[in-house]
Structure formats: structure tokens, C-alpha cells
Amino acid sequence: MPNAIVFVINGVEDIEAVTTIDILRRGNVRVDVVSVEDSLEVTCAQKTVIKADKLLKDSMPESYDVVVIPGGTLDWLDNDDFMAAIGEIGKKGKQRIAAICIAPVVLGKLGLLKGKKATSHPAGDRDLEGAEFVRDSVVTDGLITTSRGPATAPLFALEILTLLVGKEASETVKTNLLLKSLESF
């Protein structure tokens, strides 16, 4: 069974975190929710409280098939341990990294978007250092997947699911969620 780590931080966008967790779990991906805070409880941008499965210091991000960074905040940039972990994963180039909304800026700051096509929320499209900006809802270039924001969260999660378990499983989840007609924004 493929596995994913979804990072959470205070101020993370609720829809992006929860939708990704939900869709991946529906597609039989083992998902660990990992807090980069000092607490398992994280308060999202719209005040939803998420209880993570573990803390960053107690996890091994390099052991997952994909690491997912929801947006909503750029506070990711201020967490040295998180930035070091993502930078190391990116340098090794063996795992998928997925970031949505403003979070692709993290990948740009770490130099992981050089020579790649990427997208983000309009607030971050000029900060995708080294990337060729694309306005598509979801963009996958090599091992990097990026997406625009809350409204594209289902498409983002389905793309990750497709990359991990295949189109058939992704289509089944899409159909069961009545998203079959949701192709792009």
C-alpha cells in the first residue's frame, strides 16, 4: 500500500489539508498527518482544529512515497526542521513532493522548481524561483506536483492518487465523490 505524509502547521488551509487526506485515504493510501508545530493539535486558517498523527521530530519524511504541503500560510519558511527535511528529500530526488496554493513557494525557495513547470495561488506565482509558471489547475513535472488553491484541492488530491495507485483507482474515487464532471476550473 502506498503511503503519504501530509504536513500541517497553524494557519494551514483547511480545505487543502482535509480534502487531500480524505481523497488519498479513500484511494487506499496510508496517510500520516504530521504536525510541524510542538503540538499534535493544529488550528487551520478557518479555525478547524486538526489532530495530527505525529510530530515532525517523531517522523521519517523520507520513508513516504509522497510528501504533501498544503497552503494557506508561508509560516513553513520559518520552520528550519521542516525546510531541512523538504530540502533533503528534494535533493535526493527519489520521492514525490506535492504542494498547493502558496506552498509551492517553499519548493521555489529550496531550489526544487528550477527548470520545472509549476503553478500556485496568484499570491505566490512570482515567487516560484526557477520555475516556468503555468496557470493550469494542477501541474506535475517529474516528481513535483503543484496546484492553485482551495478550489483545486480535489483535483490536486486526485492527481496525487493517480500518481500513487493509478488512473483506475483515482477514477473510482472521483466517481464515488460525484466529482466525475469536475475536470478543471
Residue 185 lies in a domain: no
Q: Which three cell numbers stand for residue 59?
A: 517522523
In a domain, 183, yes or no: no
pTM of the model: 0.96
pLDDT digits (tens, 9 = 90+) for 49-94: 999 999 999 999 999 999 999 999 999 999 999 999 999 999 999 9
Rounded CA separation 133/120 (Å): 8
* Measured distance CA(144)–CA(161) in Å, rounded: 14
Q: pLDDT by residue (tens digit) across 92-102? A: 999 999 999 99
Catalytic residue of the set 96, 109, 116, 121: 121
Catalytic one among 101, 102, 107, 164?
A: 101
| Residue 66 bridge partners (DSSP) | 4, 96
Domain count of the fold of the chain? 1
Per residue in 108-166, pLDDT (tens digit) is 999 999 999 999 999 998 899 999 999 999 999 999 999 999 999 999 999 999 999 99
CATH number of the domain bearing residue 33: 3.40.50.880
121 among known catalytic residues: yes
Residue 154 belongs to a domain? yes
pLDDT, tens digit (0-9, with 9 covering 90-100), for 7-32: 999 999 999 999 999 999 999 999 99
Percent share of the chain, pLDDT over 70: 97
Instruction: Show the domain range for 42.
Output: 3-176
